[in-house]
Structure 1
Amino acid sequence: MAFEAAARHMSFTRGANELGVTQVAISRQIKALEDFLGVRLFERLNRSVRLTPEGGKFQQVVTGGLSQIAAAVVDFQKGRGNNHLVVGTTTAFSAYWLMPRLAKFHAAYPEIDLRFAVDDKCVDLKASGIHISIRYGNGVWGGLTSTYLCDSEVLPLCSPAYWKDRPQVDDPRMLLDEFLIDFDYVVDSRWSTWFEHFGVEVDQDPADISIDAYTSMVQAAQNGQGIALLSSPLVDDLIDNGSLIAPTSLPRQKLAGGYYIVTPKKADPCPALDIFRNWVLQEMFQGGSPVNP
């Protein structure tokens, strides 16, 4: 970098100013480079410098290499380098829906390199280098284009070991005597809201414990510690394999928010992005038609 800046400006001083170092530091770095190469790259004149023939050849090589590096960086940032794609997801969506299906994606599209940025906060996609993300919310985010993916519906779930051989109940008040696990992150999926939805008035918070990590809440329910309000489609696989069961016959409660696929507006065309988005939609809707929010 010292040589390139000095050669471009034809001045050690201006090159040093550009790089934020001293003129002495530039001079020492170039001297060390000349000693390593065994040739003089600059002719030192009274008040200026100029490239030697060898220095001119070396400048062409260095400039060309830096241009190739810069082009590669731009390609990576646009998602074209090595056909890689940075995908943002929430912790819950990543753990319980996306990761179990990734082998199918890699089998179908082995040429696409997926990289994941898992965060439950709404981060700036462009600033974070994320090409596409799956978010929970109302579908409206500034600077982003949203594609509806699915609703979010909660229902009480627990392990078979916790509920034992008891039959399902149809009266929500019968759960007030159970050990209830709350999710201290999304307000509309708490037990107090669930009871209110089914017309049950509660004088105080009905939850026995509150957890702020979705994966920990699911684990607690699977381990037989109590009943948690968990959301479909995230835990549908755990219901299908019998890890979780519904202790009530009550219908699922549809939440106000849903899941959306979001991408930055005015993003450059990216074939890998389109392939991944279409694959997620196909996986979500393969069992039926999408439900409009």
Structure 2
Amino acid sequence: MKTVTEGAKGYRRLIPSMTALVEFEAVARLGSFTVAANELGVTQAAVSRQVKFLEEALGVRLFHRLHRAIKLTSEGEALYLVVAESMQRIAGAFDRISGGSEDQELVLGTTAAFSHFRVLPQLPALKRMQPRLKLRLTTLMFTADLRHNEVDIAVRYGSGKWQDGKSSLLFNEEVFPVCSPAWLLANGSPQSLMDIAKASLIESDSTSEGWMDWEEWFQAVGVQPPRLNFALRCSLYTDAIQAAIQGQGIALGWHRLLHDLLKAGELVRLTDTSVKVSDAYFAVIPHGRAVTPITASMIDWLRGEVGTS
């Protein structure tokens, strides 16, 4: 049976330098030797030496050195995932033991639509639940690399399988046409999906986030109209929904985002037909970030308040 001292010697033999691992994690997370050096308060040359030492000790390259960028190799990616998760656990333990500070700041990264429709309306409830929380909202695309963004939690829509963080399911999603009560009163209820295709449609630009547009929605429900009647096209989904509220036409409604507007009657659902998408919303903790009690509580809040059906 190994003694504690023998076990410690074993760790030191297998792990040549904890400093090198810390500096490697910073470079991998930030994607830059220079930025990592600034964060760590050391020189770029010192960081480069530590990473080179780690590569020599392991006998593999951890980064591809490109012309003006670096990229993790497959071995580097495997090491980064383990190191980042381990550092996250250590940071979480420190936070639990120390009890945290009196005021706790949390940086939440979401798209503009998610924060506008789902987070901001629920802030009073969050404040009652977490009076010490200092929330900072930052706008991110769902595809933003979390290693290059200073966030504690990111909300993403997709498969839940990402290399830059650990994801937790928030809720699934379905999509259906919505309009304002005033538009419905003025134009009457469509009798078929083909009638909806002929009505005044509001479109928002397709993005890299995986959201469907009107053409994809009709394909998913098995309808192939000869043409779609677009009354308005918007770059932002928030603008498309605002236009629908003002009675400009019919927009595609993402149920989880528009729950409060539907419940309040500012928007109405036009048909029972909907598309239940295969992707879902996830809370993602970037590798290297601690899962603190306040972080876990925030994820529960997102899942409960924002996920209300």
Q: 2:252 and 2:220 mapped to 1: Cα distance? A: 13
**Does the CA contact (< 8 Å) of 1:144 and 1:264 recur in 2?**
yes
Q: Secondary structure at the match of 2:141?
A: coil
Q: Which residue of 2 aligns with 1:209?
A: 232
Q: Which residue of 1 aligns with 2:201?
A: 180
Q: 1:120 and 1:95 mapped to 2: Cα distance? A: 14
**Does the CA contact (< 8 Å) of 1:191 and 1:206 recur in 2?**
no
Q: Which residue of 2 aligns with 1:108?
A: 129
Q: 1:150 is matched by which residue type in structure 2?
A: F
Deviations 1:77-108 (A, max 9, x none): xxx56421111111111011111111111112
Distance 1:217 1:201, change over 3 A: same
Shift, 1:259, TM fit: 0.6
Q: Secondary structure at the match of 2:257?
A: coil
Shift, 1:165, TM fit: 6.2
Q: List alignment gaps of at least 5 residues for structure 1.
A: 1-17, 20-74, 288-293
**Which residues in structure 2 correspond to 1:1-293 (within 5 Å)?**
82-164=103-185, 168-186=189-207, 188-247=211-270, 249-284=271-306
Q: 1:219 is matched by which residue type in structure 2?
A: Q
Q: Secondary structure at the match of 2:268?
A: coil
TM-score under structure 1 length normalisation: 0.65
TM-score under structure 2 length normalisation: 0.62
Q: 2:304 and 2:265 mapped to 1: Cα distance? A: 25
Q: What fraction of aligned residue pairs are identical, expressed as a percent?
A: 30
**Does the CA contact (< 8 Å) of 1:154 and 1:252 recur in 2?**
yes
Shift, 1:227, TM fit: 0.4
Q: 1:246 is matched by which residue type in structure 2?
A: R
Q: 2:112 and 2:272 mapped to 1: Cα distance? A: 27
Deviations 1:219-255 (A, max 9, x none): 01001111001101111111111111123x3322112
Q: Secondary structure at the match of 1:164?
A: helix
Q: List alignment gaps of at least 5 residues for structure 2.
A: 1-41, 44-94
Distance 1:286 1:223, change over 3 A: closer
Q: Secondary structure at the match of 1:151?
A: strand
Q: Which residue of 2 aligns with 1:42?
A: none
Distance 1:165 1:251, change over 3 A: same
Query: Runs ≥4 in structure 1, deviation > 6 angstroms?
Result: none
Distance 1:239 1:117, change over 3 A: same
**Does the CA contact (< 8 Å) of 2:221 and 2:275 recur in 1?**
no
Rg larger for: 1
RMSD: 2.6
Shift, 1:125, TM fit: 2.6
Q: 1:108 and 1:95 mapped to 2: Cα distance? A: 20
Q: 1:211 and 1:286 mapped to 2: Cα distance? A: 28
Q: 1:280 is matched by which residue type in structure 2?
A: L
Deviations 1:171-227 (A, max 9, x none): 201112211111212565211122222222233455343222011011010011110
Alignment coverage as a number of residue pairs: 212
Distance 1:285 1:91, change over 3 A: closer
Q: Secondary structure at the match of 1:203?
A: coil
